[in-house]
Amino acid sequence: MGWIWAIVVGFVLGFIAKLVLPGKQHSPLWLVVVMGTIGGLVGNAIASAFGVRYTHGIDWSRHVFQLVAAIVLVAVGESVYKAVKGNSVRR
């Protein structure tokens, strides 16, 4: 059940990251979900390193770390996707 939850959270994080990033992104949905999921895992690791992964109540700081990591990874994934696809990306 943990992996399913990570994929759902990755979808939400990736979607929010696409909304935050300026301009039109051409990344497919599967790439956004993968980058969002990895961003969630990276954000959890960063929150653990800072000692704020588990707190009483809502873990706002952990969620901020997850979202920032997802934004960075979706942006990197977008640039790599465009570089690999080249001119075949629809505009």
* pLDDT, tens digit, 9 for 90 and up, residues 34-76: 999 999 999 989 988 998 877 788 888 888 999 999 999 999 9
Contact 6, 40 (CB under 8 A): yes
Residue type, 77: G
pLDDT in tens, 25-35: 888 999 999 99
- pTM for the whole structure: 0.85
Give the relative orientation of helices 2-20 and 29-50 as an angle to the nearest 10 degrees.
100
3-class DSSP assignment, residue 18: helix
Residue with tokens 């980058």: 35
Contact between 36 and 70 under an 8 Å Cβ cutoff? The reply is yes
Could you tell me how far CA 34 lies from the centroid of its own chain? Answer: 8
User: What is the length of the chain?
Assistant: 91
Q: Decide: helix, strand or coil at residue 71.
A: helix
